[in-house]
Amino acid sequence: MRFTAVVEKELRQLVRDPKTVVMVLLMPVILTILFGYGYGGKTSFPIAIVNMDQKSGGYALSDQLRNMFDIRAYARTREEAIELVREGKIYAAVVIPKGFTDDMMAGRTASLEIIYDASEPVVAQSIMQMVGVIVLQFELWASEKFGTFSISPLFYSVYGPSTRRVENFMPILMGTLLQLVPTSLISVSVCRERERGTFEQFAMTPASRFDIILGKLAAYFIATISDVFLTISIAMLLFGVQFRGGMLDIMLLSSFFLICSLSMGLLISVLSRNQLQAYQASIFAFIPSMLFSGMFTPVNLLSDVAKAVGYSLPLYYYLDAFKAIAFKGMSLQLLTYDLEVILIFTVVFSVLSINLLRMRVE
C-alpha cells in the first residue's frame, strides 16, 4: 500500500505540471518526425568527374559513377577538381587518367585517383567505400568483355594526410562538451534558487535583471571555460591529436560558443518552473542539435526540412567553423560569418532572458 501511495503521489505531482507532461509527450513525437524527415531519404554524395581518357572505357566508368553519386561537375583538369573540393562544392573528385581505355583493352592495371575532403571524415569514408564497390563491379564487367583487367585506386586528401579516428571525433566531443554540459549546468540556476527560496535575496536587492543575467553568465563562463582547455590539452598530449589551424583561433571560437550555450541555458532556466523542466528542456534542445547540426552527417546532405532545422541551430555554425580551422587550417578571420551568427544567437538569448526574468517571488 505504501508503494502504491508513493506511485500515486508522484504521478499526481507530474500531472499538475502541464509543461512537464507536454515535454514528455511531445519529445518523442517531434524527434521521430525530424529524424524521419532528415535521415529517411537516400543520401547521394556530390562529386565531380575528371575524364581525361575521353574514350569508351572512361565513359563507361563515368556512367557507373553517375548511378551511385550526384555528379555536380565534369571538370576539365585535376586542378579544377581540387579547387571544387576546397571550395566545399563537392566532397570528392574522381580522376580517370589518360590511357585508361588502352590499359583496359590491353589487360593492364589502370590507376584511378580519388581526391576527397578530409574535413568530413564520415562522408569521405563512405565515398571511398562506394568507389571501391564501383571499381570492383567495373573490373568484373571489363574482365568478362576484354580479359584480365584491374584498377588501382589512389586516394588523396586536399588537406594533407588523412585524419585519424580520434581526430574525427573531436568536433563531436567539442560540440557535446560546449553545448550539453554548460546548458544543462546553468539551466537550473534560476529554478534552483526559486525552489530554495534564495531568489528572494535578489528581489530585495538593488540588482537589476541585467545585473543578474550578466553576472550568472560571467560566473558560469569562468567555471566552465577550463573544460575547453582540459579537453584540448588531453587530446593533444595523451592522444597526439593535431590541429591544422591555430590554437588561439580554436580557443576564441570555442569561448564565443560557450557563452552562446550558457545564454541559451539561462533562457531555459528563466522559462522553466522547476529544475526537472529545465533539465528536460536542455536535453530536448541538444538532441536536435546533435542530429541536424552536421555533427554526424553534413547538413547539405539532409532533407530540406532537416536543413532548415540545422541552419537555425548555433551548434551548426560552431562545427562548421571548428572543422574549417582544425581540419582545413583556415583562420578565424576567414570565418566571420559563422562567428557573427553565433554572436547574434548569444545576444538574442541574453536579451530574452533579461526581459523574461521575473523579479517577483511566486
The ranges assigned to domains in the chain are 46-157, 165-356
Cα 306 to Cα 40, 200, 322: the distances in Å are 11, 43, 21
Q: Identify the pLDDT of residue 3.
A: 62
| Out of 73-77, 157-161, 270-274, 348-352, least confident range | 157-161
Residue 25 confidence (pLDDT): 65
Cα separation values, 43 from 135, 254, 299, 344, Å: 20, 30, 11, 32
Q: Is the pLDDT of residue 342 over 60?
A: yes
Q: pLDDT at position 74, please?
A: 92
**Which range is least confidently modeled, 175-179, 205-209, 267-271?**
205-209
* Half-sphere exposure of residue 41: CA atoms within 13 angstroms, side-chain side: 13
Q: Which of 25-39, 139-153, 335-349 has the lowest mean pLDDT?
A: 25-39
User: Higher confidence at residue 343 or residue 188?
Assistant: 343
Element (H, E) at 150: strand 150-157
Give the integer Cα–Cα distance in Å for 19 and 147.
Answer: 70
What is the spatial distance between Cα 59 and Cα 43, in angstroms, rounded to a whole number? Answer: 24
CATH assignment of 46-157?
Answer: 3.40.1710.10
pLDDT band, residue 205 (cuts 50/70/90): low
pLDDT of residue 80: 93
Q: Does 145 or 323 have the greater pLDDT score?
A: 323
Local confidence band at 50 (pLDDT 50, 70, 90 cut-offs): very high
Give the residue-averaged pLDDT of 301-308: 83
- What pLDDT does residue 121 have? 75
Q: Is the pLDDT of residue 17 over 70?
A: no
Longest dimension (CA), the chain: 90
pLDDT of residue 340: 96
Q: How far apart are CA 30 and CA 35, in angstroms?
A: 9
